[in-house]
Structure 1
Amino acid sequence: MAGDRPKRVTIYSIARECGVSASTVSRAFTRPEIVNDDVREKIHAVARRLGYQPNKAARGLATGRAGMIGLLVPDITNPFFPPLVRSIQQAASVADWSVLLVDADEVAAEETELVEQVRSQVDGLIVASPRSTDADLETTLGDIPTVVINRVVPGRPSVVCDNTTALTAAGQHLRELGHRRFALLKGPEASWAARQRSEAIRQWAADAEVDLVESGDFAASYDGGREASRAFLDSDATAAFAFDDLMACGVLAGLVEAGSSVPDDRSLVGCDDVLLARTVTPSLTTVTAPVGALGAAAIDLLREAIGGEPARELRLDGTLTLRASTGTVPVGAVRA
């Protein structure tokens, strides 16, 4: 019966319960930055309890905003990105944004085309680990509010996972296990994160006075890791740093096929701590990235950028996670 239908929750019913005006409730959803924090949180809490669903189409007409943000990733098949996407979606939902996901398939030129396709549909962009040059990014992004993850682009807000301390700890861990000759299996040339990780390992090796053999660049993929395994074997190193966990899994497979055991014959360190790092055999010693914090920070920075606030750079530390892929240097290996 019509009389049994639940009443539709409106901004007026929320306003009555909160003891504020309907216009204040409206601003809490359309211009949250200008509403007192305590009042805004109370309004949102009551709205959630009552099951209020903002009309995004009406809000867009009133504010000129789409209620949607774009999220550009270089390769959604890389297991680092699905958890990052989820963390961004969760943080975006709290800010009442929908997320439009686009995948560049590891092609820098695709990033430019994809941004052009979505820019009119979104209030702002989050670009994760872009492969384009700084100049190309700046030309492409123009005046659209944008936050960059795991890359620093001058003049743009960014949040990066700084793995320097964790990679140094990984090197020291391997050195304490007796390793003195190391392989650095570098990631994609266009990856800012790959360059940062390589530089951190180089600096550690120089300070620790150990041998470091560099190979690559290799694709951030399982097949890239299989290719890197051959360079590892040819280097005579007893331990290696792989650009990321997906590459490290390919390295493990290549070593096994060559009859080399991990960690009995060689040790291996990955980076990012994706699900594969925990489920592969042997499980990977790796650097754990604070993925949830990266997503939440990116949304906070995007809100600031849309509000016209100055660009900020945030650095979140990765942490070393020890597992089964690292062990003592094999008997008979050359020690410096």
Structure 2
Amino acid sequence: MKRATIYSIAEELGISASTVSRAFTRPELVKRSVRERILATAEQLGYEPSWAARGLATGRTGLIGLLIPDITNPFFPPLVRAIEKAAAGRGSGVLLVDAEANGAAEPGLVAQLKPQVEGLIIASPRAPSAALKEAVGQTPAVVVNRAMRGLPTVVVDNGPALREAVRNLVADGHHKLVVMRGPADAWAAARRVEAVRAAAGQEGAELVELGPFEAQFEDGRRAAREILASGATGVLAFDDLMACGVLSGLAERGRRVPDDFSLVGCDDVLLARTVTPALTTITAPLEELGNHVVERLDGVARGEAVKDVRVRGELTVRGTTAPAPGTS
């Protein structure tokens, strides 16, 4: 069977190929009843619009650029999927670029993406704000998981859930806690430590701050020695990947979770649900996050005044938290 084209659709309906093209690229210029007939015929014939062809015809690519800091971190693949799903619902595709945990490279990557896309989503960037904003220029853009003046932002507010996690640990008899700081240049890392620090103060718990660490399994595993030396019985890690490293490092030293230590992660990635015991963590509403991000980008592209958005993380209690040793 020959592949369907705008010309075969036009021939089937007895209209011009330019009208068919406009139905996909400039639908506002095509009468609604005509466009509905075109779309129905396109579906019947199995027509799939080509982003490249649309770009040549209209100067628009239909693509959103998505820059993430580290594709190996398990937080980002489900976020990418959520954004792709939300973008597809608006007829757009996503062009993904990985900064490979190199914040200094982010402005250059943004500059490379700009000519190929209609808008930018920049997730958890580490580069200085001024450099990022200069790289973005006049391109519609939204920043995820970092508050930044001059660009619309969508962030996950984990503060209330982290404070709840601290309260639960203290109620379980953990009066000395460790908080593991994330990457030094990560905006979210500072916010998470601030929330834990405030909660520990309110609950009268002693807090030991370790790090900063990279958001990596190995950093968590190596930190187990420092955790043991701290004398704490409760640990709050920057993210789930780091927490799973802690779980492994403690096991290597003959310590068990949650019998000897209670452990809390953050983000609720797939790994948190598959590790044994399953990880108590802060669940990020990724699908909601993806919808908000794409919706805000759409608004920016239309020239609307777009407000910043905060979505709330929630504490999910699983198998890595329990009463402190020696408590009933």
Give the 3-state SS of the residue equivalent to 1:328 in structure 2. Answer: coil
Letter in 1 for 2:128: T
Q: 1:56 to 1:167 in 2, by over 3 A?
A: same
Superimposed CA distance per residue, residues 173-219 of structure 1 (whole angstroms, 9 cap, x where no aligned partner): 21221111111111001111111111111111122121111111011
CA drift of 1:154 comes to 0.8
The CA distance in 2 between the partners of 1:233 and 1:69, in whole Å, is 46
Deviates more, 1:59-68 or 1:144-153: 59-68
Give the 3-state SS of the residue equivalent to 1:268 in structure 2. Answer: strand
Letter in 2 for 1:217: P
1:265/1:330 contact within 8 Å kept = yes
Counterparts of 1:48-59 in structure 2, within 5 Å, are 49-50=43-44, 51-59=46-54
Name 1:172's counterpart in structure 2: 167
Name 2:73's counterpart in structure 1: 78
2:179/2:193 contact within 8 Å kept = yes
Counterparts of 1:23-102 in structure 2, within 5 Å, are 29-30=24-25, 46=40, 49-50=43-44, 51-102=46-97
1:285/1:322 contact within 8 Å kept = yes
Superimposed CA distance per residue, residues 77-113 of structure 1 (whole angstroms, 9 cap, x where no aligned partner): 0001111111111111222222111111111112122
Name 1:254's counterpart in structure 2: 249
Deviates more, 1:220-229 or 1:246-255: 220-229
Whether 1:189 and 2:198 are equivalent positions in the alignment is no
Q: Identify the match of residue 322 of structure 1 among 304, 317, 322.
A: 317
Name 1:230's counterpart in structure 2: 225
The CA distance in 1 between the partners of 2:267 and 2:37, in whole Å, is 38
Q: 1:7 to 1:263 in 2, by over 3 A?
A: closer
Superimposed CA distance per residue, residues 230-270 of structure 1 (whole angstroms, 9 cap, x where no aligned partner): 22212111101100000001111111111111100110000
Fraction of identical pairs, as percent: 51
Whether 1:219 and 2:214 are equivalent positions in the alignment is yes
| Number of equivalenced pairs | 326
Whether 1:111 and 2:106 are equivalent positions in the alignment is yes
CA drift of 1:285 comes to 0.2
Superimposed CA distance per residue, residues 257-302 of structure 1 (whole angstroms, 9 cap, x where no aligned partner): 1111110011000000001101111110000111111112111111
CA drift of 1:43 comes to 8.3
Counterparts of 1:223-302 in structure 2, within 5 Å, are 223-302=218-297
2:4/2:47 contact within 8 Å kept = no
Superimposed CA distance per residue, residues 18-45 of structure 1 (whole angstroms, 9 cap, x where no aligned partner): xxx999986674457x69xx99x97898
CA drift of 1:53 comes to 2.6
Q: Identify the match of residue 141 of structure 1 among 130, 136, 139.
A: 136
1:184/1:241 contact within 8 Å kept = yes
The CA distance in 1 between the partners of 2:293 and 2:47, in whole Å, is 26
Q: 1:45 to 1:29 in 2, by over 3 A?
A: closer
1:156/1:311 contact within 8 Å kept = no
Q: 1:54 to 1:10 in 2, by over 3 A?
A: farther
The CA distance in 2 between the partners of 1:182 and 1:48, in whole Å, is 61
**RMSD (CA atoms):** 3.1
Deviates more, 1:295-304 or 1:266-275: 295-304
1:10/1:52 contact within 8 Å kept = no
Letter in 2 for 1:305: V
Letter in 2 for 1:251: V
Letter in 2 for 1:116: A
Q: 1:243 to 1:25 in 2, by over 3 A?
A: farther
The CA distance in 1 between the partners of 2:25 and 2:91, in whole Å, is 9
Deviates more, 1:76-85 or 1:161-170: 161-170
CA drift of 1:46 comes to 4.5
Q: 1:48 to 1:298 in 2, by over 3 A?
A: farther
Q: 1:246 to 1:154 in 2, by over 3 A?
A: same
2:9/2:41 contact within 8 Å kept = no
Name 2:300's counterpart in structure 1: 305
The CA distance in 2 between the partners of 1:159 and 1:44, in whole Å, is 37
Whether 1:209 and 2:209 are equivalent positions in the alignment is no
Q: 1:115 to 1:124 in 2, by over 3 A?
A: same
Give the 3-state SS of the residue equivalent to 2:311 in structure 1. Answer: strand
Name 1:131's counterpart in structure 2: 126
Structure 1, unaligned runs of 5 or more? none
Deviates more, 1:223-232 or 1:53-62: 53-62
1:28/1:43 contact within 8 Å kept = no
The CA distance in 1 between the partners of 2:8 and 2:304, in whole Å, is 28
2:3/2:47 contact within 8 Å kept = no
